[in-house]
Amino acid sequence: MTAELRVDGDRLWSRLAALGEIGAVHGPNGERGSARLALTDADRDGRDLVVSWMRDLGLEVSIDAVGNVVAVRAGSDPAAAPVMVGSHIDTVRTGGWFDGNLGVLGGLEVVETLAQHGIVTRHPVAVAFFTDEEGARFQPDMLGSLVYVGGMALEDALDVRAADDGARLGDELARIGYAGGVPCPTATAPHAYFELHVEQGPVLEDEDVTIGVVTGVQGISWTELTITGQSAHAGTTPMRLRKDPGYVAAAITTGVRAIAHEMGGTQVATVGRCEFVPNLVNVVPSTVTMTVDLRNTDEWLLQQAEAVFEALCAQLAREEGVTISRRQLARFEPVEFHPEQVDLIEATAQRLGHSTKRMPSGAGHDAQMLARVCPTAMIFVPSVNGLSHNIAEYTHPEHITAGADVLLQVVLAAAGI
Amino acid sequence: MTAELRVDGDRLWSRLAALGEIGAVHGPNGERGSARLALTDADRDGRDLVVSWMRDLGLEVSIDAVGNVVAVRAGSDPAAAPVMVGSHIDTVRTGGWFDGNLGVLGGLEVVETLAQHGIVTRHPVAVAFFTDEEGARFQPDMLGSLVYVGGMALEDALDVRAADDGARLGDELARIGYAGGVPCPTATAPHAYFELHVEQGPVLEDEDVTIGVVTGVQGISWTELTITGQSAHAGTTPMRLRKDPGYVAAAITTGVRAIAHEMGGTQVATVGRCEFVPNLVNVVPSTVTMTVDLRNTDEWLLQQAEAVFEALCAQLAREEGVTISRRQLARFEPVEFHPEQVDLIEATAQRLGHSTKRMPSGAGHDAQMLARVCPTAMIFVPSVNGLSHNIAEYTHPEHITAGADVLLQVVLAAAGI
């Protein structure tokens, strides 16, 4: 009975550890992380290792023009499109073992479990890793999957320059041997796409839930504000004569917190950057630069949040006599995953006896690009202390195994026997 | 009639310009400022020029052990203590022509006017400049007058090291030839002390008043806060799970503004420094460092402001789940000037036909040290745009003349004929 099939959690953990050792970064308290920035030598070594595992499993490996790697296990129906699982294996400079890697190596574990039990699915099963998901070296992030679905021209992607050393992406691809011959964007969309990923947030751990059923990806609105007032002596300038951009920045910060609280739901609001000039204890600042990060799973609600934020800025500028200039740093609409695939993940996890929670993803993932071309959904497993992009990133082995079991059963259901 | 006596405003202005040319700093828009950090070569050149003027006027010049210079014009009563006027002639790195210099050169103008009209006062008239008022090179500020009144031991003052090059104050005094032989602290307190100074704030200009009658100096309370929360992903961390020190810093900033507004009077509150770590658009900060500057002319009210501020910090720390560590950077009690001398300045200015306003000083001055040993008061004249410690510092010539006329008449009244 395929419904009883389970992955080998130890084997999956061993692969995560082996890949994690490439570009290893060890922390002072025993943390074990990785630094494999996209298209560096470390990324090449990681790719080579994963491709060797793909070949060992007898998969047909293809590399496309932007370096995305797809390994296919044939199905019984020669005309059927593959059910794809995957993610990325590049990391940020202080990356962990799990972010991205879990979706790819979890996919290999699914394939190896099927092979071990001699199960042939109707649809082929493909395991993919996409180039430069992190965007830590080449902007934008999710570049490989974006090109894969036709969202960015291949030539433009190849011409992107690295933030660190200015290297051209196409040149770096060729240098590490991953400028493949398969056309990109892909000629054939997958039948479906599933991505297993660590949550990178604290919700599942906080609520003691094992499986996050990801309903979509939040829309993102990033704004940089430059607030210009009048530098003044902190002792000799009465309050009524001040034009204090630091006060306005503070009122905006508490104001966007209030927006998130009043809207509730998935709305979040963050002021992550704030810089005072001249930044002296006894001088009212002349200028403050700050950023506001607004996110919501609903585009209409995100626009509401933006409108309230904009009105707040205008009101504060008027009241305090400062000027506020605005620059949009990023704006992405929310993505909704495929309702039937989301239901499938939820029902499967519950059948396997796991607690579940429907939740949006607050971070971006390759899945949001794949959602443009095929039914897509994601599975989250808990992140200890919500940490990610941090060498202290960790997910308990039993949660890794649980997530891979759900992935296996979802793939079986979607690929058919 | 001495009541009709007036200074020569052009002569005073010429001296201000000549002293301003020593260590001259010229701005791109025609601004003319000075850089004469304490006990540098430029300070020595400025001192030499002012001492030469003192000698030209026939004054008896003495230099004390911390470099304070006092020039005395004898009175008719050999037993009477001098009425002292003065200030300082060191500047900050981007100083103007007026801050400090006006009080000293205004004093010389008073003496020259008396001499010109052959007026001998009963009390001697002394013109003083005190070492290192600005504190821009040697901490603390107002060092020379502090030692003069016995508030700091001479040996400690001589051992202070320069913030820029680590030079010892005593060595620098000797190097520039201003380690004098007169004991310090002074053996004989002045009969009274008057200091003419630019306001360094916007109030007089804003209210179109010529003479500020300074009632005292605000008490100052400086606190540095280090707020530690939990760094977190701006997308994946729900609002209810955040421990955001940036939000707490903002709530403190708007909170201390509210304290100032609710208390009214002379209470001011300023957040001049604020630094986020790691200061990234999509990361809830882990730590924020900020300063809070509270000032009031009334010690009891200043303590009230501190108490409300402290309670606010405790409440916010509890509500948000952050820790706040506090460090006191400075704490000075308010100084009240001598009521009769304050009344004298006000009545004199009004008799001369000038508009007046009683006001506290928000900045520190040598007068607050002299107030410990003799009846003291200050005269303010308007600063254009409230600017000071800035090469764009400016005071209109007619206001300079008005202030010096008030100083002359006040000295006449206090010194007697």
| pLDDT of res. B200 | 95
| pLDDT of res. B67 | 98
Q: Which chain A residue shows the shortest CA-CA distance from B250?
A: A250
Q: Are A320 and A229 in contact (CB under 8 A)?
A: yes
Query: Could you read off the pLDDT of B160-195 as tens digits, one per residue?
Result: 999 889 999 999 999 999 999 999 999 999 999 999
Task: Kindly state whether residues B203 and B274 are assigned to the same domain.
Answer: no
Half-sphere exposure of A44 (CA within 13 A, CB side): 11
B202 vs A236: CB contact, 8 Å cut-off? yes
| pLDDT of res. B164 | 84
B272 vs A206: CB contact, 8 Å cut-off? no
Instruction: Indicate whether A77 pLDDT > 90.
Output: yes
Task: Kindly state whether residues A185 and A248 are assigned to the same domain.
Answer: no
Q: Which residues of B touch A244 (CB under 8 A)?
A: 270
Tokens of residue A113, six digits: 């479990």
Instruction: Indicate whether A8 pLDDT > 90.
Output: yes
Task: Kindly state whether residues A201 and A280 are assigned to the same domain.
Answer: no
The average pLDDT across A42-54 equals 98
Interface test with B, best of A203, A218, A236 (most B CBs within 10 A): A236
Tokens of residue B190, six digits: 């002045």
Boundary (domain end) residue, out of B332, B358, B378 = B332
Can you give the residue range of the structural domain that contains B397?
Answer: 2-217+334-415
Instruction: Indicate whether B1 pLDDT > 90.
Output: no
**Where does the pLDDT of residue A369 fall: very low under 50, low under 70, confident under 90, or very high at 90 and above?**
very high
- How far is A114 from A412, CA to CA, in rounded Å? 9
* Residue B271 distance to chain A (closest CA, Å): 7
In this complex, the residue of B200, B247, B272 whose CB is nearest that of residue A285 is B272
| pLDDT of res. A139 | 87
B279 vs A275: CB contact, 8 Å cut-off? yes
The average pLDDT across A348-360 equals 97
In this complex, the residue of A232, A281, A293 whose CB is nearest that of residue B386 is A232
* Residue A267 distance to chain B (closest CA, Å): 8
Boundary (domain end) residue, out of A272, A300, A332 = A332
Boundary (domain end) residue, out of B301, B332, B363 = B332
Task: Kindly state whether residues A326 and A315 are assigned to the same domain.
Answer: yes
Task: Kindly state whether residues A279 and A195 are assigned to the same domain.
Answer: no
B279 vs A271: CB contact, 8 Å cut-off? no
* Residue B385 distance to chain A (closest CA, Å): 10
CATH code assigned at B146: 3.40.630.10
Task: Kindly state whether residues B105 and B188 are assigned to the same domain.
Answer: yes
Say yes or no: B246 contacts chain A, CB-CB below 8 A: yes
User: In the structure, how many helices (H) and strands (E) does chain B have?
Assistant: 12, 18
CATH code assigned at B288: 3.30.70.360
CB contacts under 8 A, B 330-389 vs A, are 361-363, 386, 388-389
Task: Kindly state whether residues B357 and B327 are assigned to the same domain.
Answer: no
| pLDDT of res. A164 | 84
- Can you list the alpha helix ranges (DSSP code H) found in B98-148? 101-116, 143-148
Task: Kindly state whether residues A155 and A208 are assigned to the same domain.
Answer: yes
Nearest residue to A122 via CA among A178, A181, A192: A192
| pLDDT of res. A230 | 92
- How far is A287 from A273, CA to CA, in rounded Å? 14
**Where does the pLDDT of residue B404 fall: very low under 50, low under 70, confident under 90, or very high at 90 and above?**
very high
* Residue B63 distance to chain A (closest CA, Å): 32
Q: What total number of domains does chain A contain?
A: 2
Half-sphere exposure of B173 (CA within 13 A, CB side): 26
- How far is A92 from A391, CA to CA, in rounded Å? 10
Task: Kindly state whether residues A299 and A345 are assigned to the same domain.
Answer: no
Nearest residue to A379 via CA among A355, A401, A404: A404
* Residue A292 distance to chain B (closest CA, Å): 7
Instruction: Indicate whether B330 pLDDT > 90.
Output: no
Interface test with B, best of A281, A287, A380 (most B CBs within 10 A): A281
Task: Kindly state whether residues B321 and B349 are assigned to the same domain.
Answer: no
| pLDDT of res. A1 | 73
Q: Are B377 and B208 in contact (CB under 8 A)?
A: no
Q: Which chain B residue shows the shortest CA-CA distance from A233?
A: B201
Say yes or no: B299 contacts chain A, CB-CB below 8 A: no
The model carries a pTM of 0.85
The average pLDDT across B228-246 equals 94
Say yes or no: B188 contacts chain A, CB-CB below 8 A: no
Instruction: Indicate whether A94 pLDDT > 90.
Output: no
Half-sphere exposure of A259 (CA within 13 A, CB side): 29
Instruction: Indicate whether B136 pLDDT > 90.
Output: no
Task: Kindly state whether residues A134 and A201 are assigned to the same domain.
Answer: yes
Residue with tokens 């300023």: B270
The average pLDDT across B285-303 equals 96
Report the mean per-residue pLDDT for chain A. 96
ipTM rounded to 2 decimals: 0.85
Q: Are A110 and A153 in contact (CB under 8 A)?
A: no
**Where does the pLDDT of residue A332 fall: very low under 50, low under 70, confident under 90, or very high at 90 and above?**
confident
Dihedrals phi, psi of A281, to nearest 5 degrees: -55, -35
Q: Which chain B residue shows the shortest CA-CA distance from A274?
A: B276
Task: Kindly state whether residues A99 and A174 are assigned to the same domain.
Answer: yes
Instruction: Indicate whether A251 pLDDT > 80.
Output: yes
Half-sphere exposure of B332 (CA within 13 A, CB side): 22
Say yes or no: A253 contacts chain B, CB-CB below 8 A: yes
Query: Could you read off the pLDDT of A260-292 as tens digits, one per residue?
Result: 999 999 999 999 999 999 898 988 999 999 999
The average pLDDT across B258-263 equals 98
Q: Which residues contact B28 (CB under 8 A, 6 or more apart)?
A: none
Say yes or no: A269 contacts chain B, CB-CB below 8 A: yes
